[in-house]
Structure 1
Amino acid sequence: MPSPTAHPFPPAAPPHLPTAGAVTAVNLVKVYGKGDTEVRALDGVSVAFGRARFTAIMGPSGSGKSTLMHCLAGLDRATSGQALLAGVDLTTLSDRVLTQVRRERIGFVFQAFNLLPHLTARRNITLPLDLAGRRPDHELFQHLVTELGLTDRLGHRPSELSGGQQQRVAVARAMVSRPEVVFADEPTGNLDSRSGAEVLAMMRNSVHELGQTVVMVTHDPGAAAYADRVVLLADGRVAGEIDRPDHASVTDALRQLAVGR
């Protein structure tokens, strides 16, 4: 395999944005507060995330990585710029339509699992489809629960599952509706190393075997090494990217970012 290619400090001009991007930020700006308390969390971010690819977003604390993901996922409104999902600008949608888009076209995996405690694992997995009035694809459902090792846990409630099992339920829930993109925010942050590796391997396999698009925010170079590409942020701007990342290339790029601040 070719060695990882890192570009930690590209030219200031925004890169060409491929039209095949599943989700794209165009000159995205997000400002919190006003006057002396103003914080510019995103400062003109332009970046595309390709279809059927696993991309990690990384950067120092306060770099804007979670804000970028939240704007692209329709969880937060950008101050200006565009957040495009398959060409549809989420910033122009009404709250009602945006809620529908999030439910039907976007999957989420969060660090805190966010499972409903009174529902079984099966019902938690199918919840997005239940809310949309759709029936699950039986073949896809079986594939997901088998690959994630949940076949004998489907009747259990979250309190009866380990942390790793709960996160695997959350991964299955995010993917069971075949969303156009799955966003994962620090998905292994509450897991031990073995459980985290299992979740990351499943997300990578969903990209390479099912054609899923996954965008993950993480601070962990080991987690980022599962991705096909790493996008680096610093001070609310794109600071570079790494193709075919491994632990060493990610660690080195983050060290260069820290030195350059």
Structure 2
Amino acid sequence: MRTEQAGSTPVASRPAVAAVDLVKVYGSGDTAVRALDGVTVGFARAEFTAIMGPSGSGKSTLMHCLAALDTATSGRALLGGTDLTRLGDRVLTKVRRERIGFVFQSFNLLPQLTAAQNITLPLDLSGRRPDRELFGHLVGVLGIGDRLKHRPSELSGGQQQRVALARALVCRPEVVFADEPTGNLDSRSGAEVLALLRQSVRDLGQTVVMVTHDPNAAGYADRVVLLADGRIAGDLDQPGPDRVAAALQQLAAAR
């Protein structure tokens, strides 16, 4: 289900995903925590964006609200022309399954399923058949063709994350959200996963939004959005690790 707004911005120029005056408050009264404080930001199609900031800055909360994994207190979370904040739970489940891909630090693979079954799981749940050409392309690019019959316990961490990435991409989602995707990987496996995310943007036109604390990981992105205290605190185009690290140091010094 795609709920488009009449008279809205043409699809080609519309951000793939956006926040408009997004507020998220946890708790109430004296113990209330304002995790997001009126965030407005858009993420372009076919672009790799990293969200960064100090611990507690709201970066994971922003991603969870944009990915319909958490509910905003006020404001809007937009997926293309669909206002996620206006949808009920049943429709949100369908949107997450069909229009959003997820790659998380903990892989989130089902241990009883093979790698191939884990990859096609979102399609199976929505009653859709896999695009065999895309499936074969992803498996080949990710180098897991000889591991498809193996279960997660028989795969290395890097292989599990590759399976998780294939699962995120096989549905042709409008956006892939990656939450610390290299956090449980060694440096070599992490670099390979980041390069594959970069390649999905370049070769497949995929939109990727990644939360990370690592300047080296952010260096793979086209853009870095900086958060501090639940607000946008900076925006870097074509970032490099040194530039990102310097920006983070400035944020820390200003707190």
TM-score (norm. length: structure 2): 0.95
Question: Quick one: higher RCO (CA 8 Å, sep 6+), 1 or 2?
Answer: 1
Give deviations 1:166-194, integer Å, cap 9, x for gaps.
Answer: 00000000000000000000000000000
Question: Matched residues in 1 for 2:215 and 2:14: separation?
Answer: 27
- SS of the equivalent of 1:190 reads coil
- The SS at the match of 2:16 is strand
Equivalent residue number for residue 244 of structure 2 = 250
State how far apart, in whole Å, the 2-side matches of 1:161 and 1:80 are. Answer: 42
How many residues align? The count is: 244
What's the counterpart of residue 4 of structure 1? none
Instruction: Give the match for residue 82 of structure 2.
Output: 88
Q: 1:73 aligns with which of 67, 74, 97?
A: 67
Identical-pair percentage:
77
1:128 aligns with one of 116, 122, 127: 122
Pairing 1:75-224 to 2, within 5 Å after superposition: 75-224=69-218
Distance 1:186 1:147 in 2: 21
Q: Which sections of structure 2, spanning at least 5 residues, go unmatched?
A: 1-11
What is the TM-score with the length of structure 1 in the denominator? Answer: 0.93
Secondary structure of the corresponding residue to residue 152 of structure 1: helix
Q: Which runs of 5+ in 1 are unaligned?
A: 1-17
Paired letter, 2:25:
V
Which ranges of 4 or more aligned residues in structure 1 deviate by more than 2 Å? Answer: none
Q: How does 1:38-57 map to 2 (within 5 A)?
A: 38-57=32-51
For 2:6, the equivalent position in structure 1 comes to: none
SS of match in other structure, 1:77: coil
Amino acid at match of 1:182: V
Paired residue type of 1:219: H
Match of 1:62, SS?
A: coil
Q: Structure 1 residue 75: deviation in Å?
A: 0.2
Within the candidate set 223, 227, 233, 1:233 is matched to 227
Q: Give the superposition deviation at 1:143.
A: 1.0
CA drift at 1:128: 0.5
1:91 aligned partner, one-letter code: T
